Amino acid sequence: MFLCDDSTIEFTRQPGVGAPIWRGRAPSGEDLRSFAAAAHLAGGRLAAIWGSDERRRAGGYRLHCVFGLDGGHAWLSLELPVDEPVYLDLSGIFPAANRMQRATRDMVGIATDGGDQRPWLRHGAWPADWYPLRHDAEHGVGMGLGFPNFPSNYDFVQVGGEGAHEIPVGPIHAGIIEPGHFRFSVVGERVLRLEERFGYQHKGVEKLFIGADVGHGARLVGRISGDSTCAYAWAYADAIEAACRVEVPPRALLLRALMLERERVANHLGDLGALGNDAAFAFGLTQFLRLKEDWLRLNSQMFGHRFMMDCVVPGGVVADVGSSALTALVEQCAVIGTEVKKLRALYDEHSGLQDRFVTTGIVGAALARELSLTGMAARASGILLDGRAYRQGYTPPPPYAALGVRPVTDERGDVAARVAVRFDEISESLRLLREIAVGMPSGATRADVNPVGDASGLGVIEGWRGEVLVGVQFDHDGRLARVHPHDPSWQAWPAIEHAVMKDIVPDFPLINKSFNLSYSGADL
């Protein structure tokens, strides 16, 4: 295998043209933990953890772990017995495992031997011994109906000492953002520690996949985190296509890339405006929102939806574009590129903005690796990691392999770096969009998809936040048995806890916005 020759785990490559994914089964929990330690030592990262109830087919439970490595992703499964589905804690190797393990216990009842035993997604809405994603979890006329919704206490870590006190923020906020609780431990305005508490947005989305057909699953996955609908839809489609051995037409792959890059630009435009506003530069907000609105209106004209929802489906795409639309796209890229260049000069030369951005909210490269960060946040810490680009031992999937993506990095790791990476990524995405539009081939835009009973697949796509991952498993009848969507915010939220340390409380909104993470994508 591509990690260590003495591994007891045998791997086979997942079929399909998506990101390179290697599948294997760990003979024991010790083997899984040993592989995790080897992956960490090799500079790998933890991409996702989830569990599944296999009692209808295999007699027990199954733990799924995905590790990001130089040559792609390693997807390991571990079989667990019915009477004691327990495995060795991985958070001592990969800190990002902490919340994923706790969520897996809350949802499936697969627990760790050691580690943090506090609930994560379960608040007071269901009992501690009831697990929503088990096959026998239904009761009454629907999932969980009849349970009283009790308030729940959470054992936050206490910080003592002279002058130390706590500032609780949320889960209900003054604006229209999603719910999340932030517990600051401070001395004066200096932040000593931040602890987050999520799960308030939990909506049972993984349960809704069970028993659904492929088409319904595509509509559902695109609504997990609306600002990443194309990334989620593509990752889901990749997983389905790998499981069903479907070959996607070249034109469809380029149209997917076109939508994904437009999604990336739209989010960066909005965030750059919001970052200016959080640093008291309202002019930046108005200008970037104007550009974003123009961008979204062309999305609507081209694809019938401002966020291109339901356009990427298993087998290809449902929205094709003509030559006039591609011409309009190229013209808009030129206009947006000119406007963004002017605004970047204003941001770079504005002393008030730079005073707020520079050295604020630092996440260094070593910490980013330790937390398994991906995407824009990792690249702003100097890590050359982009699923669309070549790197040592890794060839990007089509159509990006032929587009020659030039990844953007910045070694500073602060708010200023995350702003700079956004500006540069807009420029690169505009270049890619022009190249895609000019070189768009003719041909089919969709292939037939015939579900395969008991098959499974994994899809990984470089969304605008980072790696969006979707694992899919079919039942015997070819309907969805288990779908796990994973947002890069799982790994990035803990980074904010580190980024605010030693900064002051008023800097938190700015630091938070510089990441702009998803609550909904992590609460599921």
Q: What is the mean pLDDT of the segment spanning 177-195? A: 91
> Over 90: is that where the pLDDT of 2 sits?
no
What is the dihedral sign for C-alpha 277, 280, 284, 286? positive
Sign of torsion over alpha carbons 425, 431, 434, 435 = negative
Q: Encode pLDDT of 309-348 as tens digits.
A: 999 999 999 989 999 999 999 999 999 999 999 999 999 9
Sequence-distant (≥ 6) Cβ neighbours of residue 5 within 8 angstroms: none
Of 67 and 10, more confident: 67
Over residues 155-180, the mean pLDDT reads 85
pLDDT digits (tens, 9 = 90+) for 81-117: 999 999 999 999 999 999 999 999 999 999 999 999 9
Tell me what pLDDT residue 391 has: 87
pLDDT at 130 over 80: yes
Reply yes or no on whether the pLDDT at 246 is more than 50: yes
Cα–Cα dist 479/484, whole Å: 15
176-205: average pLDDT: 91
pLDDT tens across 361-393, in order?
Answer: 999 999 999 999 999 999 999 999 999 999 888
Average pLDDT of the segment spanning 301-310: 96
Catalogue the E-assigned strands of 463-516. Answer: 467-474, 480-486
Contact (Cβ atoms closer than 8 angstroms) between residue 59 and residue 35 = no
Closest CA to 284 of 337, 341, 344: 344
Q: Which two tokens stand for residue 25?
A: 């089964």
Angle of helix 508-515 relative to helix 489-499, nearest 10 degrees, comes to: 150
Distance of CA 202 to the CA centre of its chain: 16
Q: Which CATH number fits domain 11-123: 1.20.140.10, 2.30.42.10, 3.30.2290.10, 3.30.460.80?
A: 3.30.460.80
Where residue 397 falls among pLDDT bands split at 50, 70, 90?
very high
Per-residue pLDDT at 1: 47
Number of C-beta neighbours around residue 449 at 10 A = 21
Query: What is the rounded average pLDDT of the residues 192-218?
Result: 93
Residue 92: predicted pLDDT: 95
Rounded CA gap, 77 and 89, in Å?
15
d(CA 135, CA 104): 15
In a 13 Å sphere around the CA of 33, the CA atoms on its Cβ side amount to 13
The CA distance from 62 to 46, in Å, is: 18
Q: Region of 249 please: left (phi>0), alpha (psi -120 to 50) or beta.
A: beta
pLDDT band at 432 (very low <50, low <70, confident <90, very high): very high
The CATH code that applies to domain 205-523 is 1.10.645.10
Per-residue pLDDT reduced to its tens digit, 253-284: 999 999 999 999 999 999 999 999 999 999 99
Strands (E), 233-282: none
Give residue limits of the domains in the chain. 11-123, 205-523
pLDDT at 245 over 60: yes
Q: Is 3 a residue whose pLDDT tops 70? A: no
Residue 155 half-sphere exposure toward CB, CA atoms < 13 A: 4
